[in-house]
């Protein structure tokens, strides 16, 4: 993280702390103002096409039996973040838990018992000082790989996405501009693939070279690092983003989290969601369109059916094309994996399926 960003976040943390100190000096009951992360304070912003947080907040008082512990925890976490920022280091959420966990003199109780407590305080801090956890130098587990028509630096080391062999660049958890700097981009679009095996296939066939794109996988639901990268590709490099997932409700959901954000982390949609994302497939209509045999389909189970119905009801899936898509899945009662395309030949996906989809603009918005 650059010193500039760190300094800004440090100032925000200190600002919050100073306010509390001055309240104490005035003999008041010190408090901090934390935006509410409850379901009731989450809204679907149709105009911006993202799930976002409302304006409700809660005052957290020190002299309040129900709030005193959380008050203390907030300051412990803030203190550890301040140390990280000061030393230009980063920590995982689990590390932070251990860093802030200690026994309270003479008592059986610790400052934190479970990581879920410190995680919640981190979310409070993020919204409280309006900084991503990455800007507080905290990171989630990393996952995912990238290759493609892009040159960038990662902590000053030049990474050429066109010369990363079969493995690719392992996408770190923190990809803010201070860590990852784009240098040269010849890509015309970005393709996010749900499955690592399909990413492998496309990389082996040098799909990214023939079609000038950036190829990423998040190995399932993309982690934060991948989502922030997608956000930056679309917003800074102005590239179209296509999402390529299994034909099942989970695939729809992965797409929707990338596009609109999630209810749980609604407060971060504004810097994580990519409303421009397009759903390239697998679509419930692809089996007929591409003549896939009946041996590649899998019957929906009860969980799939109820998840698909739930997704159909979300305000952000109300476009008639999406209703048709999900209705088709429910009507046929089947799902399909990306690897099902291999039944038509190992390189069918890179030589036929994707080129035709992209050429015909056959995607859902």
3-state class percentages of the chain: helix first, strand second, coil last, to nearest 5: 45, 20, 35
Closest by CA position to 300, among listed 262, 322, 327, 339: 327
**Given 136, 171, 272, 274, the residue binding a copy of itself (CB under 8 A):** 171
Active site residues: 98
Q: Tell me: does residue 98 bind a copy of itself (CB under 8 A).
A: yes
Torsion on CA atoms 68, 69, 72, 78, rounded to nearest 10? -120
Q: Is the peptide bond before 130 cis (omega within 30 degrees of 0)?
A: no
Sole residue written with tokens 């251990």? 98
Q: How far apart are CA 27 and CA 332, in angstroms?
A: 68
CB of residue 58 vs a copy of itself: minimum separation in angstroms?
Answer: 29
Counting contacts by CB under 8 A, is residue 294 touching a copy of itself?
Answer: yes
Give residues 247-276 in contact with a copy of itself (rule: CB under 8 A): none
Query: Is residue 169 involved in binding a copy of itself (CB under 8 A)?
Result: yes
* R_g (Cα) of the chain, nearest Å: 23
When binding is defined by CB under 8 A, the residue of 3, 7, 28, 102 that contacts a copy of itself is 102
Tell me: does residue 43 bind a copy of itself (CB under 8 A): no
Instruction: Decide the pairing of beta strands 334-335 and 298-299.
Output: antiparallel
Q: Quick check: 153 binds a copy of itself (CB under 8 A)? A: yes
Instruction: Tell me whether residue 159 or residue 234 sits nearer to a copy of itself (CB atom).
Output: 159
The reply to whether 295 sits near a copy of itself by the rule CB under 8 A is yes
Q: In this chain, which stretch among 158-166, 207-215, 258-266, 356-364 interacts with a copy of itself, using CB under 8 A?
A: 158-166
Query: Is residue 339 part of the contact set for a copy of itself (CB under 8 A)?
Result: yes
Residues sharing a CB contact under 8 Å with residue 245, sequence separation 6 or more, in sequence order: 194, 251, 252, 254, 255, 279, 281, 282, 338
| Residue from 105, 106, 165, 313 in contact with a copy of itself (CB under 8 A) | 165
Task: Determine, following the binding rule CB under 8 A, whether residue 138 of this chain makes contact with a copy of itself.
Answer: no
Tokens encoding 143: 């996952």
Rule CB under 8 A: choose which of 70, 201, 211, 227 binds a copy of itself.
Answer: 201
Query: Partners of 91 in the beta sheet?
Result: 138
Residue 281 tokens, joined: 């497939």
Binding interface with a copy of itself (CB under 8 A): 83-84, 87, 89-92, 94-99, 101-103, 110, 139, 141-143, 145, 153-159, 163-174, 179-180, 196-197, 200-201, 204-205, 219, 293-296, 337, 339-343, 346-347
């Amino acid at each position: 993280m650059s010193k500039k960003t760190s300094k800004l976040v440090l100032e925000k943390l200190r600002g919050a702390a100073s306010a509390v100190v001055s309240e104490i000096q005035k003999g008041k009951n010190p408090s901090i103002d934390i935006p509410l992360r409850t379901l009731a304070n989450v809204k679907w912003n149709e105009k911006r096409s993202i799930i976002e947080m409302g304006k409700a907040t809660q005052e957290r008082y020190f002299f309040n039996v129900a709030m005193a512990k959380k008050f203390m925890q907030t300051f412990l976490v803030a203190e550890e973040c301040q140390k990280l920022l000061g030393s230009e280091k980063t920590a995982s959420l689990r590390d932070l838990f251990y860093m802030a966990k200690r026994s309270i003199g003479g008592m059986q109780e610790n400052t934190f018992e479970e990581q879920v407590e410190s995680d919640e305080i981190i979310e409070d801090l993020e919204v409280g000082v309006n900084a991503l956890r990455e800007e507080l130098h905290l990171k989630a587990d990393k996952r995912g790989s990238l290759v493609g028509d892009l040159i960038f630096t990662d902590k000053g080391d030049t990474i050429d996405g066109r010369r990363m062999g079969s493995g690719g660049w392992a996408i770190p958890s923190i990809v803010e501009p201070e860590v990852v700097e784009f240098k040269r981009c010849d890509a015309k679009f970005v393709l996010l693939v749900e499955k690592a095996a399909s990413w492998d296939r496309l990389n082996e066939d040098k799909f990214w070279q023939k079609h000038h794109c950036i190829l990423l996988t998040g190995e399932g639901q993309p982690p934060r690092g991948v989502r922030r990268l997608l956000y930056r590709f679309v917003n800074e490099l102005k590239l179209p983003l296509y999402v390529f997932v299994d034909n099942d409700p989970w695939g729809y959901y992965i797409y929707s989290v990338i596009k609109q954000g999630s209810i749980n982390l609604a407060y971060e949609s504004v810097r994580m969601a990519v409303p421009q994302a397009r759903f390239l497939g697998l679509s419930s209509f692809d089996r007929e369109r591409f003549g896939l045999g009946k041996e590649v389909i899998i019957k929906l189970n009860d969980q799939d059916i109820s998840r698909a119905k739930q997704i159909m009801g979300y305000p952000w899936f109300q476009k008639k094309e999406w209703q048709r898509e999900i209705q088709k899945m429910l009507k046929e009662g089947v799902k399909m994996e990306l690897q099902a395309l291999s039944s038509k030949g190992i390189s069918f996906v890179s030589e036929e399926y994707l080129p035709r989809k992209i050429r015909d603009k056959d995607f859902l918005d």
